[in-house]
Amino acid sequence: MNRSHRSAGRDWILGGLFVALALVLPIAFHALGVGSVFLPMHIPVFLAGFFVSPLVATVVGFVSPLLSSVLTGMPPLSPPVAQSMVFELAVYGLVTALVYRASRRLYLSWAAAAVAGRLTAGLVGAFFLPLFGFKAVPLFYPLTAGLVTGLPGLVLQALFVPPVVYLLQRATGRVGAARGAGGGGSVPKPDADPRGGVSG
């Protein structure tokens, strides 16, 4: 088995672990009554974007809401919350992986993915929900008024995701998704310039 096959196999194994985490975290948060506030399912999807390929990260985001809905009833299939979330979370995984591969900047990758995912949620709310007979959501609602309700989750992601990625990468000596652009090497600090400086 060559190196690329081993790498792909590792990605899918890690992807399965991230999906499992996306099932367990919401259960724990909902048990505390804060599941809908802190958006716990989003966290493993963002993490996946830093450690696996863009394809696997996209699959993690797409599969997690549906599998969670089938196994736990959260998020619900009717109204079609789970169906809507698959697009948003798939974009989270995809954009995180792509931006991180290109920049190796942790906060930039998370922030770009967060914006892209919320734009996707707006598109889904505006054009997908009416297909099921539900009232359309304004296109930019997730980035305007909807941002207020999602703010605790965004704060948690900002405080948790990039630092955890940095610590894990430092502990393992790996650069996560960036390895596809050149293999191992030094681990970047949050928003570190790949050329050696730190962004301001």
CATH of the domain at 158: 1.10.1760
Residue 197 pLDDT > 50, yes or no?
no
* 80 vs 99: CA distance, rounded Å: 29
**Does 119 reside within a domain?**
yes
**Does 191 reside within a domain?**
no
Tokens at residue 137, please? 């959501």
Q: What is the pLDDT of residue 1?
A: 58
**Model confidence over 155-181: pLDDT tens digits?**
999 999 999 999 999 998 754 444 444
Sign of the alpha-carbon torsion through 158, 191, 56, 10: negative
Residue 5, exposed/middle/buried by CB under 10 A (0-12, 13-18, 19+)?
Answer: exposed
Compute φ and ψ for 10, nearest 5 degrees: -60, -40
CA atoms within 13 A on the CB side of 102: 11
**Does 195 reside within a domain?**
no
CA atoms within 13 A on the CB side of 105: 19
Number of domains in the chain: 1
Residue 195 pLDDT > 70, yes or no?
no
Domain that holds residue 136: 3-178
